[in-house]
Structure 1
């Protein structure tokens, strides 16, 4: 008769005991007859994941990993800024490529045409405009001491100068070149800053052209990271965000161009033609900065015009006061209506946060970023809440 289950269970300890006696006695035991638990011991209970040691160890390990990643990101922060700026510029040039595609041109040829036009514009600016700006900036620097002397005729300024000797200090500071040296850290610092700016401009130019030529492939690569069930919706939202960014970049360029051309024409009319190109370029460049850019440009031009002639300064103040109202209520809404549809409070808050995080670059990128966040909130979060 065969043994029952109870007899087998009772025989198992005896077999293990016999095995142990056999090994003690020096007899050979076949290891294949032993199970894994008998060979290495019985497996214990799993480690308690709620224990303080477990939580503390892996929590500290995660914190160290996060700190390492944050340090790495901060170390390449300047490179990341160049990449982000290049992406925004590529998105700004993409509407021109799409416009050529709608006219029947292949994307490769459309990208080539836009890149050629962009490089031609940059080369024309460097060859034709930069020497004029350099000459006019030099003329402004040479005339600055004379303008400071004229300020001494003002009674209030003369009182301040008698007490604190302000005018003479500023005059010596500008005339001796300490102004430039103080900003850039001496002659060597000036050279290094110029080389650094040219290198960054070259990197941005190369990355912009690369991102523009491979924008479609880059988008598709990012879209494939989304689940297949949501990929089409992610692609639609992503394309809309890119269109918003491109519309904002091109719109900001148009607004700044209008400001620069208007300032150039006005300065020639009021008799400041010797400084018109340089000052108009400063106004156009500063006008790209949200909120405060146009005001800073107006202050710079008005101050220089006032130093040359009081009446010209008054005319400049009136002109910029009127032009900023036209730009804020007529030009900017018409240009930006299709790309950035944000409340005024959101624009101000986004610009302040961006400027606080990344300075001028952050202020430039804040508004399209806020528009993208608002689009995601409206199309994803709000719709999900409405469906409940």
Structure 2
């Protein structure tokens, strides 16, 4: 330019001609030309075998400086039989291990589920106490102490009749032995078949003593295991009942933010129905216990309070609980009273169970759980077949939750399709 400065256009043209410059030296940078990569060559007819000819092996494999051992093949897709089989095998193994782990931990899982069920069922009582101004901790403590007091009273009511019967049996054993010895028919059988000698040999045999020891040990293990499970369930119930709001919040937060409000509303409704089911079961059991106590008091049957509590506790079990309690009461009436007393007890409990099954139970469950009577019976039968007593207890609230989800989620979605 006239001023002596370099023309920018000329500089740009020169740089393009020279190419890229080194920032350290300012000189042009010489880059190596891109190396041509060798492509794999398909074998031609009559070509040597690559297992014997090294050059043919390199040509067919496409050996170059980047792939000294030849180009790798295409990756296996998900539809490849090997990948599909391997993934399916891993899935089957994982599912089998999960099922096996759940089977091994079945007792623990059942205890956790029962404890959570009891906590959800007792939560309405805690909320009712909170409306009177009690903190949640005190309300939980009061409800839990009431539950402990109920079961303690139930056990205490059984101590006296059981101890009296054991004492009476121990006193009457010599009389029973004397009666057996003086029995003419038994003496005649003993002369014919040697019953007493056989019985003495069987009792003194090692196998009988070993089986008696094993039976006693098994009963002791069952008793200890039952006590341990009961204490564990009570402790878990206390913890779940105290932290139930935090547990609900945690599970609600697992739902997507756009659906969290609806999930929370449905979850609260399900928990309310479980609480209503527990309240309904206690109501039915209370009615059965009070009715039994009044009837047994009028009949003059011994241990009326203990038998009424047995009826109330067993009546908490759906379908078969009332029958179990009735059988116990009728047996006690036969053993401690006359045959007429036993027959009257049988007639009374047959009539009462019909009234409870067809009038009281469906009305209470319809009001508290909002489940049709036929659904409650079917759900209880299926639950009892799957998990026994625990399944029967959990079946009805589970059916209530499923019916709510079907009515509020599935059916509206079907209307939009």
Aligned residue number for residue 149 of structure 1: none
Cα distance in 2 for partners of 1:137, 1:348 equals 38
Shift of 1:212: 0.2
Pairs within 5 Å for 1:18-97: 44-97=73-126
Cα distance in 1 for partners of 2:257, 2:357 equals 44
Shift of 1:139: 7.6
Shift of 1:115: 2.8
Q: 1:296 to 1:121 in 2, by over 3 A?
A: closer
Q: Per-residue CA shift, 1:201-241, capped at 9, x if unaligned?
A: 11011000000000000010111111011111111111111
Cα distance in 2 for partners of 1:141, 1:285 equals 27
Which structure 2 segments of 5+ residues have no match? 1-15, 18-32, 39-63, 174-188, 190-194, 204-209
Aligned residue number for residue 338 of structure 1: 367
- Contact 1:350-1:366 within 8 A present in 2 as well: yes
Cα distance in 1 for partners of 2:376, 2:213 equals 33
Cα distance in 2 for partners of 1:183, 1:362 equals 33
Shift of 1:304: 4.1
Cα distance in 2 for partners of 1:79, 1:262 equals 37
- Contact 2:362-2:373 within 8 A present in 1 as well: no
- Aligned residue among 379, 385, 402 for 1:373: 402
Shift of 1:296: 3.1
Which structure 1 segments of 5+ residues have no match? 3-10, 17-34, 146-161, 163-167
Q: 1:289 to 1:15 in 2, by over 3 A?
A: closer
Give the superposed CA RMSD: 3.5
Q: 1:137 to 1:89 in 2, by over 3 A?
A: farther
Aligned residue number for residue 325 of structure 1: 354
Aligned residue number for residue 249 of structure 1: 278
Cα distance in 2 for partners of 1:332, 1:132 equals 32
Shift of 1:337: 3.1
Mean Cα deviation higher: 320-329 or 285-294? 320-329
Shift of 1:185: 5.2
Q: Per-residue CA shift, 1:165-207, capped at 9, x if unaligned?
A: xxx9xxx9xxx9xxxx999952222222221111111101100
Give the aligned length: 331
SS at match of 2:327: helix
Mean Cα deviation higher: 196-205 or 43-52? 43-52
Larger radius of gyration: 2
- Contact 1:283-1:297 within 8 A present in 2 as well: yes
Structure 1 length normalisation: TM-score?
0.75
Q: Per-residue CA shift, 1:233-277, capped at 9, x if unaligned?
A: 11111111111111111221221122122212212221212x434
Cα distance in 2 for partners of 1:368, 1:184 equals 43
Aligned residue number for residue 305 of structure 1: 333
Asked whether 1:102 is paired with 2:131, we answer yes
Asked whether 1:239 is paired with 2:303, we answer no
Cα distance in 1 for partners of 2:386, 2:168 equals 33
- Contact 2:154-2:309 within 8 A present in 1 as well: no
Cα distance in 2 for partners of 1:361, 1:184 equals 31
Q: 1:183 to 1:64 in 2, by over 3 A?
A: farther
Q: 1:46 to 1:297 in 2, by over 3 A?
A: same
Pairs within 5 Å for 1:141-220: 186-220=215-249
Shift of 1:326: 3.1
Structure 2 length normalisation: TM-score?
0.70
- Aligned residue among 268, 285, 294 for 2:313: 285
Structure ranking higher in helix proportion: 1
